């Protein structure tokens, strides 16, 4: 089984991606490598941030790896918060304060269309590849559900009555933006064998 480093410290992301890759790739994250530093994310695009993180890990460990960057793109906010999704409420913020700010700035706004977009950057044998996953939906007017993380309590995917936080991990992992991008990555890795 191919061994890949996932360039993240985020345990929620690691669990999500592991569930999609189970049995196909042996996933190792940065913590299991004993690496606990923050990796810079200074690009103004998701693609740029994902590549920056993957290159950082590849140059440091010389191991095949991948990194992702995810953005919540809200139509009423001109595609924002986008690359600032994780720090929407400011430096040192947490998931709860990001969600609170989003609900506050969208108060009274009728167009609540949004999408989650994930870009995965893979470095395999020194070559770089990009995979994208997108899911459309809308931002609810209040939090619903207590599963998941991040904006899950306020994001309702198109065609569903539940938010990601009401669905639970298994259901979310079948349809999410990250799952779509990781499936593309998995399909690519399977063909590469």
Structure confidence at residue 96 (pLDDT): 94
Residues 6+ apart with CB under 8 A from 190: 24
Count of CB atoms situated within 10 Å of the CB of 23? 6
- Using CA atoms, how far apart are residues 164 and 63, in angstroms rounded to an integer? 33
The predicted pLDDT at position 16 comes to 78
Contacts of 152 (CB under 8 A, 6+ apart): 145, 163, 164, 165, 172
What's the confidence (pLDDT) of residue 161? 96
Cβ pair 5, 32 in contact under 8 A = no
Those residues of the chain that have pLDDT short of 70 are 1, 192-193
pLDDT the model gives residue 192: 63
pTM for the whole structure: 0.89
Q: Report pLDDT for 189.
A: 84
What's the confidence (pLDDT) of residue 173? Answer: 83
So which residues are the catalytic ones? 69
């Amino acid at each position: 089984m191919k061994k890949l480093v996932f360039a993240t410290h985020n345990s929620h992301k690691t669990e999500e991606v592991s569930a999609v890759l189970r049995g196909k790739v042996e996933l190792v994250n940065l913590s299991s490598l004993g690496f606990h530093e923050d990796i810079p994310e200074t690009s103004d695009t998701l693609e740029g941030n994902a590549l920056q993180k993957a290159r950082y890990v590849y140059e440091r460990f010389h191991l095949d790896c991948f990194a992702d960057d995810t953005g919540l793109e809200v139509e009423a906010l001109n595609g924002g918060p986008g690359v600032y999704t994780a720090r929407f409420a400011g430096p040192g913020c947490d998931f709860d304060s990001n969600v609170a700010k989003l609900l506050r700035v969208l108060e009274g706004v009728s167009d609540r269309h949004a999408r989650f977009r994930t870009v995965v950057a893979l470095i395999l044998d020194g070559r770089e590849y990009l995979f994208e996953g997108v899911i459309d939906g809308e931002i609810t007017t209040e939090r619903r559900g207590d599963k998941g993380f991040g904006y899950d309590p306020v994001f309702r995917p198109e065609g569903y009555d539940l938010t990601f936080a009401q669905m639970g991990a298994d259901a979310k992992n079948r349809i999410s933006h990250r799952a779509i991008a990781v499936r593309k990555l998995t399909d690519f890795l399977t063909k590469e064998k």
